[in-house]
Amino acid sequence: MRIESLLQHDVVERILERLAVNSLPRFKAVSKQWKSTIESQFFQGKHLTHRQQSGDPVVLMPVWLYNSTEIGIEETATTCEVFDFSTNAWRYVTPAAPYRVVDFLGPLFVDGSLHWFTECQETKVISFDLHTEAYQVISKAPFLNSDPQEIVMCNLDNRLCVSEMKWPTQVIWSFNSGRHGTKYILYIW
């Protein structure tokens, strides 16, 4: 006897809403109806809402701890600690970031990673992948003599962008998933 004949589809949908997102692809193979349900935007919205309301941690919040800054010590790299709920303890991410990040701007979240500008002679964009817990230098900032206080990182259409205002133009570099940039120039009138 097939499971579809035992349970109403709305009951099955309620059960699927409560499953971890990484287990859902397996259930697409059960039937065309399950596949269609799991791939629908309506179901995905309900699944996300349920995850948010359940109290399960789905978003990591970067925080600066009381001991993040020390007077008189010049650090060349940024260290990162991750709180592991399974062990109820903090652990260091190794290796540490290869450069010190600009801490006064805060990170930008795009496509599963947190992104910062670096504090080095040549400003770079560095990312921390939340899934692999690894740092990666994406590129140097695409502007000559770029000062992190004069350029902005933003998320446009779920793409990492870096922007610089030089009156009368706004220059925007959009990075694709391969981390190569595309330049857009907007003229402001």
Q: What are phi and psi of 16, to 5 degrees?
A: -60, -35
Q: pTM value?
A: 0.57
Q: Is the pLDDT of residue 145 over 60?
A: no
Contacts for 141 with CB less than 8 Å, ≥ 6 apart: 117, 122, 123, 124, 125, 148, 151, 162
Asked if residues 40 and 51 have their Cβ atoms less than 8 Å apart, the reply is no
Give 56-112 as a 3 state SS string.
CCCCCCCCCCCCCCCCCCCCCCCCCEEEECCCCEEEECCCCCCCCECCCCCCEEECC
Count CB neighbours of 139 within 10 A.
15
The pLDDT score that the predictor gives to residue 99 is: 81
Asked if residues 16 and 4 have their Cβ atoms less than 8 Å apart, the reply is no
Q: pLDDT tens-digit profile of 89-132?
A: 888 888 888 887 876 677 888 888 888 888 777 778 888 888 88
Give percent of the chain with pLDDT exceeding 70: 68
How does residue 143 score in pLDDT terms, banded at 50, 70 and 90? low
The pLDDT score that the predictor gives to residue 88 is: 80
How does residue 178 score in pLDDT terms, banded at 50, 70 and 90? low
Q: pLDDT tens-digit profile of 31-49?
A: 888 888 888 888 887 877 7
